[in-house]
Amino acid sequence: MLEFKDFTNRENIIELRGIGQSYDGGNNFIIKGLDFLVENKPDQGQFVVILGMSGCGKSTLLRYMAGLQEPTEGTVLIKGKPMDKQRVSMVFQQYSSLPWMTVLENVGLALQYQGVSKKERDARAMELIDLVGLKGHEYKYAQYPTLSGGQLQRVAIARSVLANPEILLMDEPFGALDIRTRLKMQDLLTSIWRKYNSTIVFVTHDISEAVYLGEDIYIMKSAPSKFVEHIPVNLPIERDRTTKRDPIYTELVHKVEDKMIAVAEMK
């Protein structure tokens, strides 16, 4: 089993300690004894990808980190503080924008809750709208089919970055997109990561996507779930379509595939 031994030796940005999850009063645990650590890397950030079979609890872990769910047992710390004192945004696979609000209003929503003046939040929101390629759509309602699926995910990403660019949690955000849009969104996300030095925790089922985006890949096993594999992605930080033709990339994809098959067969 994969062990995280340096909880106390480094400054960490995300820590999950001794996590257990039961939905029947503790008779059965779908997650048990799970530890997870993301080290803080100032002025650099990092891109962590979580893989695992369906139902192993990948999305549940993100919900812990976002403060949307509490584990049955264990501790969740963000920058060394309990989760209830933090605010971390999450981008879902399903479109999460408020359809009765414009793109501009959706992106600036977190600042509105923080009491930021309309003039300032609109100005800051427009910077993000421009960054994610939605300039000219800011006064459209954030709903389908007024905006495409890819555009709606751009809204969600811009909103999350404006709310807290330091930590971005993403739960299969590109799973419903066509291949052309998905590839564009992957490159958009890497550009945001480099610009803001964000710590990104990204859940996907797509192994090639995991290798293309991530610096570190962690694989979970099921029943009860915990992390069992860590695969560093030894590719340059700057990546583009040519990266996917690099033999090192291809070898990593095959290595992760083999690990996933092995983990799926674990008892």
User: pLDDT for 52-74, tens place per residue?
Assistant: 998 899 999 999 999 999 999 99
Q: Return d(Cα 222, Cα 240) in angstroms, integer.
A: 33
- What is the reported pLDDT for 156? 93
Asked if pLDDT for residue 159 goes beyond 90, the answer is: yes
| Mean pLDDT for the chain overall | 90
Backbone angles phi, psi at 229, to 5 degrees: -140, 140
Closest CA to 221 of 56, 20, 18, 63: 56
How many whole angstroms from its chain centre is CA 147?
Answer: 23
Tell me the per-residue pLDDT of 196-247, one tens digit each, with 9 for 90 and over. 999 999 999 999 999 999 999 999 998 889 999 999 999 998 888 899 999 9
Instruction: Sketch the domain layout of the chain as residue ranges.
Output: 51-62+86-264
Q: Which residues contact 123 (CB under 8 A, 6 or more apart)?
A: none
The pLDDT confidence band at residue 86, using thresholds 50, 70 and 90, is: low
Band of pLDDT at residue 8, cut at 50, 70 and 90: very low
State which fold the 51-62+86-264 domain adopts.
Rossmann fold (3.40.50)
pLDDT at residue 91 is higher than 60: yes
Enclosing H/E stretch for 63: helix 58-66
pLDDT, one tens digit per residue, over 239-249 is 888 999 999 99
pLDDT at residue 237, rounded to an integer? 86
What is the structure's pLDDT at 113?
83
Confidence of residue 6 (pLDDT cuts 50, 70, 90): low
